[in-house]
Amino acid sequence: MFASFFAKRNAQKLNDERFRFLFEEVPLDEVVVFDTETTGLNPKKDEILSIGAVKVRGNTILMSEKFELFLKPQCEVGECSIKIHQIRNIDLQNALEPREAITQFLHFIGARPLVGYYLEFDVAMINKYFKPWLNIHLPNPQIELSGLYHDKKIKRIPDGVIDLRFDVMMKELGLPIFGKHDALNDAMMSAMMYVKLQNVEKL
Amino acid sequence: MSMHDLEAFIRSIYPFELLSKNELSKATRAMNIAYYKKDGILISPSKTASFLYIILKGEVGEFSEDELLKVYSKSNSFDADALIYGQSAKQFKVLEELICYELDKASFLALMDSNEAFKAYFIQDLANKIHSAKQREYTTELSGFMMALVRECYVHTPTIVEKECSIMEALREMEAKKSSCIVVRLEEGYGIVTDSVIRKHVLFNGYDKHASIGAIALFPLISIEASDYLFNALLSFTKHAIKRLVVMENGKIIGILEQLDLLSYFANHSYLAAVKIKKAGSIEELKEASGEFIHIIRKLHVKGTKVDYIAKLISELNAKVYEKLYTMILPEALASKACLVVMGSEGRKEQLLKTDQDNALIIEDGMDVDAYVPYMKRLSETLIDFGYPPCEGNIMVSNAYWCKSKRAYSQEIARWFDTPNMEDVMHLAIFFDAHAVAGNASMLSELKAEILRHVEAQTTFMAYFAMPVLAFETPIGFFANLIAKENKIDVKKGGIFPIVHGIRSLALEQGIDVSDTVGRIKKLAHLGVLESDFSGALLEALDTFLNLRLKEQLERGFGNQVNLEHLNELELELLKDSFKIVNKFKKFLTHHFKLSMVS
């Protein structure tokens, strides 16, 4: 009920007019699917290491306009997280300063809706950099893949417990899993799930 | 899929593997992934193509009006024609929901412009497409038998001296280096001094052996580049009637190629076997020589020689074995009054590995047939001992039916045409393929001429003769899928037999006096009975079947079964296309011989 109001309030709070494009009209059938790799799971203290994103127009995943970059962490990357995402300190030598990276990302997404798997976390991570700087939170509409999947699955098994693990969803949707897990690759696979989910009534 | 994975995936697909690293990464950077629902139309006469589609998952059917022509699945790409010609008479429809890569038209056409081989692949027609795919298989293996390079052969160390050097000194150096000749640096270039030159000048003409060598050197020197084909070296030896060639690389002499080494290089293959057969003094020695054929076949196959050529070579060798054995076993007086013929696939020179003997003896009228019987029995037994298994249908000289006088054959031929049953038709078929290997060959030609006269006189016979072409279903389904039993397909029943017998029927009808299928197809094309495109397609299809069968046989023994699990994507594709050609040929024959009117 208050959604549009809060959106306007948010827009009003923007403190840098160069980013007004975040509130402009977008091509109707376009979304951006994205994923991040981070040093940990706590948005308060962990940092983003890389962002991967692709645009989807209709049923086409625009790989030719993909987005991938690395962010310079403010503190040394710990051993535990290196083991998970396999981004070592040395891999970040050509990484960008967070502000520069986020600026590029914003220009890539514009006002398009964002799609992702457990998107809330990724958006929270972006907001961690974004909010203090531009005084607003990321205004883009958000589409949660596991939510889309759940809603279509529940039509077939109304009382069932639905397995929402990433690989399980990929498998259930009959999509090929390829390559290693990194931000861009996961974004690409998420994009496939999104396109597929747009095209099925129920699962 | 990371860019790296994507490139690896695309590179694994023919013809994308022809692209350079640069071209490939340019192509992958331009690609998008798209999703289509079942029954979606990608290209149609009214919907021009704007992408080359490469399937990641799902299936697409190519339709002409309502007929399904082809099914594309993972790793297949389509449709280059629609992009090149800007329109398509075909419709491409999603059969199973599809995830595919899309390469836009402009990027695709740019790739074609920058890469000739890539372009060539897409603009060739089916027969050519099959051919280029096979060509590629060949070149990835060692270059062909005749295509070996000079540098692959043994090259002797050269002795190079200045023209002022004394003959004795040069000889000493040659001795030390164990060279076979001396290369002399002259003002105008290089000259050569061989043993025969020294013999002529020093021994006969009394030239001073301490004088400088330059004066007796032969000039100019015949040379060959190390990167040239051995085949050209062979030509050069014959043309100049010389025994050695100087091998050059980057303008420098790197060695001497001796004619002897070249011959022994080829001898490792077929030459030696032929000599061995010729020189064999006993049946034991002949057996040993014939035992080496399998190695030759294996080598030639690995080196990518066309199956047709291997078969011809092996048939020649087999014929030599038969001929030799015939003269060894039969007394001269009997041998010259009869004719030993090989029939069926051996007669058509399509035999590869030693399979069943199909042979017969034609004896001159007036000779005592019984006198031949014990020798023919021995001939069959010896051949069995050599590893040529006995014929299941007992079509062998040891069987009285296939060992009789010329007149008796004439009568039998007349009977075959009179009221033929299936067995008679097959007897006629194999006899029509007969090829004389020893004795008086003219009798066979006369009998074949009789056959052709019968054909002319009895036009209705041909339909009966051609009928077996339809005896076996082509193992390809309505959806252009291969129909296999436990993943195996009998390529003889499904492909080889219909082509061979269909062509034989046409050859018989047209009175073509050639006994091998390839020769017959070419003759039929020449006569205009088969369109030249179609004859090309038949040749390629036949070679595909024979090749796949040979590969299977070499790896896993005898038989006509090809296991689909052992085939790669390209081979499966070729097999499908080849069966489609077989179906087209059956249609043609049904119409040509009006087969639907007999049964």
Quick check: B63 and B74 in contact, CB under 8 A?
no
Quick check: A140 and A22 in contact, CB under 8 A?
yes
Partner B contacted by A185 (CB < 8 A): yes
Compute the distance between CA of residue A21 and CA of residue A43 in angstroms, rounded to an integer. 26
Compute the distance between CA of residue B144 and CA of residue B260 in angstroms, rounded to an integer. 21
pLDDT at A1: 46
Q: Which amino acid belongs to residue A144?
A: E
pTM of the model as a whole: 0.48
Give B34's contacts in chain A (Cβ within 8 Å).
Answer: 59-61
**Which residue in B115, B148, B175 sits closest to B299, CA to CA?**
B148
Partner A contacted by B99 (CB < 8 A): yes
* Distance, C-alpha B215 to centroid of its chain: 51
Give A175's contacts in chain B (Cβ within 8 Å).
Answer: 57, 99
Contact A60 B2 (CB under 8 A): no
Partner B contacted by A188 (CB < 8 A): yes
CATH 3.30.420.10, applies to A3-144: yes
The complex's ipTM?
0.74
- Which member of B1, B30, B102 has the closest CB to residue A60? B102
Three-class secondary structure of residue B568 per DSSP: coil
* Spans in chain A with pLDDT lower than 50: 1
Q: Which of A59, A66, A170, A185 to mutate: most B Cβ within 10 Å?
A: A59
To the nearest whole Å, the CA of A99 is away from the closest chain B CA by 25
- Which member of A60, A175, A188 has the closest CB to residue B34? A60
Nearest CA in chain B to A182: B2
Give B35's contacts in chain A (Cβ within 8 Å).
Answer: 59-61, 192, 195-196, 199
Partner B contacted by A61 (CB < 8 A): yes
What letters, b where the CB count within 10 A reaches 16 and e where it falls short, cover B264-301?
Answer: ebbeebbebbbebbeebeebeebbebbeebeebbebbb
Nearest CA in chain B to A54: B32
Partner B contacted by A201 (CB < 8 A): no
Other CB atoms within a 10 A radius of the CB of residue A197 amount to 19
Q: Which residue has the tokens 């959604």?
A: A3
Partner A contacted by B34 (CB < 8 A): yes
Nearest CA in chain A to B56: A176
Mind listing the pLDDT tens digit for each residue in B22-78? 888 888 888 888 889 888 899 988 888 889 999 988 889 888 777 777 788 888 888
To the nearest whole Å, the CA of B157 is away from the closest chain A CA by 53
Rounded to 10 deg, the angle between the B569-592 and B497-510 helix axes is 30
Partner B contacted by A199 (CB < 8 A): yes
pLDDT at A35: 94
The domains located in chain B, with CATH, are 3-118 (2.60.120.10), 150-263 (3.10.580.10), 465-597 (1.20.120)
How do the domains of chain A map onto residue ranges? 3-144
Contact B30 A191 (CB under 8 A): no
* Distance, C-alpha A92 to centroid of its chain: 20
Quick check: B310 and B297 in contact, CB under 8 A?
yes
Partner B contacted by A197 (CB < 8 A): no
pLDDT at B497: 92
Contact B33 A179 (CB under 8 A): no
pLDDT at B113: 83
**Which residue in B192, B242, B249 sits closest to B216, CA to CA?**
B192
- Output the 3-class SS for B178-206: CCCCEEEEECCEEEEECHHHHHHHHHHCC
Partner B contacted by A86 (CB < 8 A): no
Other CB atoms within a 10 A radius of the CB of residue A90 amount to 6
What letters, b where the CB count within 10 A reaches 16 and e where it falls short, cover B57-82?
Answer: bbbbbbeeeeeeebbbeebbbbbbbb
To the nearest whole Å, the CA of A107 is away from the closest chain B CA by 20
Three-class secondary structure of residue B240 per DSSP: helix
pLDDT at B403: 93
DSSP secondary structure of B152-166: GS--BPPEEEETTSB
Nearest CA in chain A to B33: A61
Other CB atoms within a 10 A radius of the CB of residue B261 amount to 17
Contact B1 A182 (CB under 8 A): no
pLDDT at B417: 87
Give A86's contacts in chain B (Cβ within 8 Å).
Answer: none
Contact B5 A179 (CB under 8 A): yes
Contact A61 B32 (CB under 8 A): yes
To the nearest whole Å, the CA of A20 is away from the closest chain B CA by 29
Partner B contacted by A184 (CB < 8 A): yes
Compute the distance between CA of residue B201 and CA of residue B216 in angstroms, rounded to an integer. 7
Nearest CA in chain B to A184: B2
Quick check: A124 and A137 in contact, CB under 8 A?
no
Lookup: tokens for B271: 């030459």
Partner B contacted by A144 (CB < 8 A): no
Q: In sequence order, what are the beta bridge partners of B253?
A: B248
Contact B32 A199 (CB under 8 A): no
Q: Which of B1, B26, B102 to mutate: most A Cβ within 10 Å?
A: B1
Contact A185 B36 (CB under 8 A): no
- Which member of B29, B57, B102 has the closest CB to residue A176? B57
Other CB atoms within a 10 A radius of the CB of residue B97 amount to 18
* DSSP one-letter code for B48: -
Partner B contacted by A170 (CB < 8 A): no
If you count residue pairs, one on A and one on B, with CB atoms under 8 Å apart, how many are there? 49
Partner B contacted by A141 (CB < 8 A): no
**Which residue in A164, A143, A144, A166 sits closest to A154, CA to CA?**
A164
pLDDT tens, per residue, chain B with 599 residues: 566 777 888 888 878 888 888 888 888 888 888 889 888 899 988 888 889 999 988 889 888 777 777 788 888 888 887 887 777 778 999 988 888 999 999 999 888 888 878 877 776 654 555 555 555 444 433 334 455 678 777 778 888 999 899 999 999 998 888 788 899 988 888 888 988 888 888 888 888 888 889 888 888 888 888 888 776 777 677 667 778 888 988 888 888 888 777 765 654 555 556 667 777 778 888 888 787 776 667 666 665 566 776 777 777 778 888 888 998 999 988 998 999 998 877 777 776 666 678 899 999 999 998 999 999 999 999 988 888 888 778 888 989 999 999 999 999 999 988 877 888 888 898 899 898 989 998 999 999 999 988 888 877 788 888 988 888 889 988 777 888 888 889 988 999 999 999 999 999 999 888 888 988 999 999 999 998 888 888 988 898 898 888 888 777 766 788 888 888 777 888 888 899 999 999 999 999 988 877 65
Quick check: B109 and B86 in contact, CB under 8 A?
no
Please report, in angstroms and rounded to a whole number, the separation of the first and last CA atoms in chain A.
Answer: 30
Partner A contacted by B596 (CB < 8 A): no
Give A184's contacts in chain B (Cβ within 8 Å).
Answer: 2
Partner A contacted by B5 (CB < 8 A): yes
**Which residue in B545, B542, B522 sits closest to B532, CA to CA?**
B522
